[in-house]
Amino acid sequence: MTRRELLRLAACAPAASALGLSQSVRRLPIAFSTLGCPKWDWKTIVKNASAWGFAAIELRGIQDQIDLPKCPEFSPTRIKASLQELAAAGLVISDLGASAQMHEPDPTRRARNFDEVRRFIDLAHQLKAPYVRVFPDRFVKGEDRSVTFARISQGLRELGEYARPAGVTVILESHGEFRRASDILPVLEGAKSKNVAFLWDAYHTSVEGEKPADTFKALGPYTRHVHLKDSVPVTGKSPAERRYVLIGRGDVPVQDIVNVLVKHDYKGYYCLEWEKRWHPEIEDPEVAFPHYAKTIRQYLSKAGFKA
């Protein structure tokens, strides 16, 4: 590795900034979710993302506030400055992560979920972010799956119509009990909306046992954004119990996932979803994020990615 490459992958953001690294890094389409850095303030998020060569940031809360429209950084008096700081660092927002669950049958809870997504869509429009993420998320006990599919599709269609004038697309993540293409495809097809698409959390589908090529064959036309992470089984526990590890140190076929995406000319971001907010015991973002930037560059190169 050359001296310049070592500098590009430096793990110390302040040192990297001092070296002018953010200006010299060739920006590949890589991103990280702020789920992985719950203690960082806005300026630290932007500074480190730029210094480590990321091109985009997925917003999933800032410090103690996970309801993004309530973040002070995006208030009417501060949002312009936040956007200027983002642009000065050469970064964009890839998407906003809402917590809304589209399966919810209770009318009051469903209305609350829809209100959340609409607020996120309004903020995405202001931040020039193209996507807002939602969850499918569960199969309702005692209810035929076709009914659950239809409810989720109807909700996505309604939110897609709301998002259309804002230039935003609602993306449904493979998450919860919806971890197989066979359960996700009917929902997306049923939505029948150009403003509804798919966030492929490739970790979930892979751990569920689907081969990346098979998942993408079914859902590729809908795929706009991708989450990547890695894990290992927990010794002595059930197969479902796993521990998150740095990319490349587990048994999730991340290189295979990247190969599939590159082969099919995927145009979105390769986003690290490091779940530090939910799992504080895993490595700190100061370790996980630069490691990901280095490793995913290698994976993209091996896959033949061309900018």
In a domain? residue 194: yes
Q: Where does the pLDDT of residue 10 fall: very low under 50, low under 70, confident under 90, or very high at 90 and above?
A: very low
List, for residues 61-104, the tens digit of each pLDDT value: 999 999 999 999 999 999 999 999 999 999 999 999 999 999 99
Average predicted confidence (pLDDT) for the chain? 92
Mean pLDDT of 230-253: 92
Say how many domains are in the chain.
1
- Give the residue among 90, 89, 116 at the shortest CA–CA distance from 102: 116
Residue 224: the pLDDT is: 98
Q: Identify whether 297 is part of a domain.
A: yes
The answer to the question of residue 195 being in a domain is yes
* pLDDT at residue number 236: 80
Mean pLDDT, range 188-216, rounded to an integer: 98
pLDDT digits (tens, 9 = 90+) for 173-185: 999 999 999 999 9
Q: Is the pLDDT of residue 143 over 50?
A: yes
Q: Domain containing 103 — which CATH number?
A: 3.20.20.150
Residues 272-300: what's their mean pLDDT? Answer: 98
d(CA 271, CA 91): 14
Burial of 180 (0-12, 13-18, 19+ CB in 10 A): middle
Please state, as a whole number, how many other Cβ atoms lie within 10 Å of the Cβ of residue 23: 10
Average pLDDT over residues 204-211: 97
Residue 125 belongs to a domain: yes
pLDDT band at 240; cut points 50, 70, 90 = confident
pLDDT score at 239: 75
pLDDT band at 263 (very low <50, low <70, confident <90, very high): very high
pLDDT at 235: 86
Does the residue 285 lie in any domain? Answer: yes
Q: Is the pLDDT of residue 9 over 60?
A: no
For residue 155, give its domain range.
3-302
pLDDT of residue 26: 66
Question: Encoding tokens for residue 32?
Answer: 């990280």
Least confident interval from 17-31, 60-74, 153-167 = 17-31
Residue 16 pLDDT > 80, yes or no?
A: no
Asked whether the predicted pLDDT for residue 250 surpasses 80, the reply is yes
pLDDT of residue 12: 38
Cα atoms in the Cβ-side hemisphere of radius 13 Å centred on 269:
23
pLDDT at residue 19 greater than cutoff 80: no
Q: Are 171 and 134 in contact (CB under 8 A)?
A: yes
pLDDT reading at 6 higher than 80: no
Please give the pLDDT value at position 307: 78
The answer to the question of residue 307 being in a domain is no
